[in-house]
Amino acid sequence: MIHKKYTGKTFLIIRTLAFIVLILVPILGMSQSKKKTEKSEAKRPQYRNLFKEAGYSQSEIDQKLAKAYYDVFEGPNKVYFEEGDSLGYVSDVKNKDARTEGMSYGMMVAVQLNKKEVFDRIWRWSVKYMQHQDGPREGYFAWSVNPETKKQNSAGSASDGELYYITSLLFASNKWGNNTGIHYYNEARRILDAMWKKDGTGNIHNIINTEHKQISFVPEGGGYNWTDPSYHVPAFYEIWALYAKDGHEEFYAACAEVSRNFLHKATHPVTGLNSDYTEFTGEPHPTPWMPGGFRYDSWRVPMNIAMDYTWYGKDKKWQEEYAAKFQNFLRSKGLETFDDQFNLDGSKPEFILQAGPVKKLRHSIGLVATSATASLVNPDKKSMDFVHALWKAKLEPYEDGYFDPYYDGLMYLFSLMHLSGNYQIINPTVQ
């Protein structure tokens, strides 16, 4: 009821104002919603296709990636083998074993490229022959298994295997859901929950050194107290913080920041090189089998940094400086001739790490590939020369007959995926 003292004119004003409010509120709401959407869109990673930027056609790029997948997973020199109706494994063929490194890499390739059957086969083989079902190591994986006899060569874990298993399973849950035969999320949680139960009993620990918030070289014995820089993949911790939902979100986010800061200390200030193994301070960690130096494990570091730069971009300034330093150093050694092992100051090492039966420095396609991913980070346009170098490289035996379709092949395939924009965060698409 309108009070009598209000005149007809006053009533008209009130009604008009009410009408304006009714019109404006939804419009303002829509505007704010649009701004939120735009802000969210702006935060999404921009997956650059550097091959396209370098002048190659999309058709050529698609063919190049498809051939690399075929060569590694299906061709005459493949490293992926199927068993029966439901199993499959990735083998380090030169060392005649299946490793959690290659198995979990195979799963990451499969989920990124939508190869569900390959993913499922590798996971089932991993559970059947590698995962410990009881005891102090329950939930963890034996890092090396003989694919012929199925005997575990070593019962212990290499921490990067669990790192990749968990992340690829979370991605699979987001991509395919959990109702197609494997509950991917539960499998990821099983590893994570088991990890958090490791309290040193039987000398078995969390794969992450909880005091230092850094991934361990191995989660048992003395290997729990030092690390491998190539295991530091801060982008994966961000994924765990988002999708693991196990109550340790803040810890994982902190681990991502610690890893980024660790890489500052682990890389040489001039060359950008890091040692394969280090203390948690970043200082080289010599072992009885190998002195400090940049060798095969270290090839992965520029690729991991490029991934973190693209996916999250939380350390851009330092990462750009690192990429320029690293590529400038390799270019100084000859873009088509640089070796694959160095002392951290860039000099030639006296100790050469053997690859299978071969002990030799070479211009390895694995490092050619991962060094090109640094072009995603390096703001200098001349860094495209690394992209062209990778495009020209071929996954085939070297002149002396040596061939490594496993490690070289997987580094090559991962790098093609990164540089073509096909290695992405997989957000939930299935409820």
* Residues carrying an active site annotation: 101, 297
CA pair distance 65, 92, nearest whole angstrom: 21
Instruction: Measure Cα distances from 167 to 25, 163, 173, 330 in Å.
Output: 43, 6, 10, 31
As given in the structure block, the two tokens for residue 53 are: 């930027």
What is the residue whose two structure tokens read 């050469």? 352
Torsion of CA 243, 102, 71, 375, to 10 degrees: 60
Lateral strand order in the sheet of 80-83: 80-83, 87-92, 97-99, 144-145, 152-154
Closest CA to 330 of 383, 397, 395, 409: 383
Contacts by residues 388-397 (CB-CB < 8 Å, ≥ 24 positions apart):
388/54, 389/335, 389/336, 390/415, 390/416, 390/419, 391/51, 391/54, 391/56, 391/64, 393/365, 393/368, 393/369, 394/365, 395/68, 395/71, 395/72, 395/365
Parallel/antiparallel/unpaired status of strands 208-209 and 214-215? antiparallel
What is the number of alpha carbons within 13 Å of residue 315 lying toward its C-beta? Answer: 21
Phi, psi of 31 (to 5 degrees): -65, -45
CA pair distance 275, 229, nearest whole angstrom: 7
Phi, psi of 132 (to 5 degrees): -75, 130
CA pair distance 176, 168, nearest whole angstrom: 12
Q: Are 313 and 304 in contact (CB under 8 A)?
A: no
As given in the structure block, the two tokens for residue 236 are: 């994966």
As given in the structure block, the two tokens for residue 224 are: 């729990």
